[in-house]
Structure 1
Amino acid sequence: MKLYLNGTSPFARLARATALELDLSTIEMEWVDPWSDQAELLIVNPLSRVPALADDSGDVLTETLLIVRHLIENAKRDSELRTKDMRTITELGVAYGMMELAFAFTIHKKHCGESGTTLQNRRKSSLRRGLEVMEAVVAEDMRWSLSRLCLWIALDYIRFREVLDEATLDNYPSLDKFFTAHQDRAALSSTAFS
């Protein structure tokens, strides 16, 4: 299998970190630039987005959560990431939504400038509501799961891209504790944004 990714995509990082958490060392990593419409990437994903996962038979998955689900379901060993409980899936929806909002905010800022727009302000408000929800969730328990992997990467991306004006986790002590508790996980430290 070959995983197409780049160093600043939180979506690609989620797929790569999942593969590392599952110890899937046989996956070949192919670094691409989705913004330059590289021919190699366009062959597997005509939308020029990462991640994309091509298997040995030529089948390709192009959506992050589908890739992650495929990796988890086909892993040879059981994992904390394998879950079917509704609570974890609900948390995953919030964490992934936060990742999407932060990414959309970053792309808008890159291409449209710094000026605060109604849309950008709405994204920030939504992110803050997501942070409040996840603050309560991790305050209740710090267990590791797919939703928490996604949350950790979303938090790191928000910091990396300086999406919120204030220090992101200063007002969220449980999220700060959660972030710190997991920052040395190999799958996270070895996939740091670059």
Structure 2
Amino acid sequence: MQLWLAFTSPFARKVRIAAHELGLAGEIELVETDPWTDARLRAVNPLAKVPTLILEDGEVLYESSAICDHLDERAGGGRLFPRSGRERRRALRLQGLTDGAATAAGRLFAAERRAPPQLDPMTPRFEQAIAASLDAIETESLSKDVFTMAEVGVACLLGYLDFRWPERDFRAGRPALSDWWTAMADRPSIVATAHRLPAVDPLP
């Protein structure tokens, strides 16, 4: 399998964490790309977005949720996506919440990078979405041992916030979330998938 990605993307990291948790990381070749400029990415994904997964037979999957679902099925199913009931609904709910918050964080980061700085009328909404999502996650019982897509999603959101805004402490006033994220610092899937800035020439 080939995973086309940018190492700054929280959604690409989501797939990589899922692969590590499922024991599939060794089956995936990482292809670093710039989704804004690489025409080859659009040739396989009309949206030209990361992550994009190309399977051994040439089938292409895009959107992190669909890719993670495929990886879970490939590993036997029912691990990251519980098969039924409240636990399944919880995993899907928190995956949706953290995906939305990560999208808001990406839009906020892009707005703040514009030069000259311009106030995006959506900025307050993005900031409120991130803060409210973190407050909601603070009330959740996150496992420190067993990862489902709930834990994977939360880890990706918190990791992205730390990566983009290390000077902003999302932990303040959220002791449960802070304790959980501190406990995750040495988890192999978290260590192995840390964000980093792109290579100068990611593809030849």
TM-score by length of 1: 0.88
Matches within 5 A, 1:146-165: 146-162=149-165
> What is aligned with 2:17?
17
Q: Is the 8 A contact 2:3 2:53 kept in 1?
A: yes
**CA drift at 1:46:** 2.7
In 1, the alpha carbon distance for the partners of 2:116 and 2:104 equals: 17
In 2, the alpha carbon distance for the partners of 1:11 and 1:42 equals: 17
| Percent identity of equivalent pairs | 30
> What is aligned with 2:44?
44
> What is aligned with 2:90?
87
In 2, the alpha carbon distance for the partners of 1:44 and 1:156 equals: 28
Aligned Cα root-mean-square deviation (Å): 2.1
Specify which of 133, 150, 168 is matched with residue 136 of structure 2. 133
> What is aligned with 2:191?
189
Alignment-mate amino acid for residue 168 of structure 1: F
Superposed CA offset, 1:41-100 (max 9, x none): 222113221000011221111111111111111115763x13132122212221221111
> What is aligned with 2:5?
5
For structure 2, which runs of at least 5 residues remain unmatched after alignment? 197-204
Decide whether aligned partners of structure 1 residues 115 and 4 sit closer, same or farther in structure 2, where only a CA change above 3 A counts.
same
- Which consecutive segments of 4 or more residues in structure 1 shift more than 4 A? 112-116, 140-143
The DSSP-based 3-state class of the residue aligned with 2:100 is: helix
- After TM superposition, the structure 1 stretch with the greater mean CA deviation from structure 2, 10-19 or 88-97, is 88-97
The DSSP-based 3-state class of the residue aligned with 1:35 is: coil
For structure 1, which runs of at least 5 residues remain unmatched after alignment? none
Aligned residues: 190
Decide whether aligned partners of structure 1 residues 112 and 69 sit closer, same or farther in structure 2, where only a CA change above 3 A counts.
farther
In 1, the alpha carbon distance for the partners of 2:168 and 2:31 equals: 35
In 1, the alpha carbon distance for the partners of 2:63 and 2:113 equals: 23
TM-score by length of 2: 0.84
Matches within 5 A, 1:51-90: 51-76=51-76, 79=79, 81-84=80-83, 85-90=88-93
Decide whether aligned partners of structure 1 residues 178 and 113 sit closer, same or farther in structure 2, where only a CA change above 3 A counts.
farther
Q: Is the 8 A contact 1:51 1:64 kept in 2?
A: yes
Specify which of 97, 109, 113 is matched with residue 110 of structure 1. 113
In 2, the alpha carbon distance for the partners of 1:127 and 1:113 equals: 24
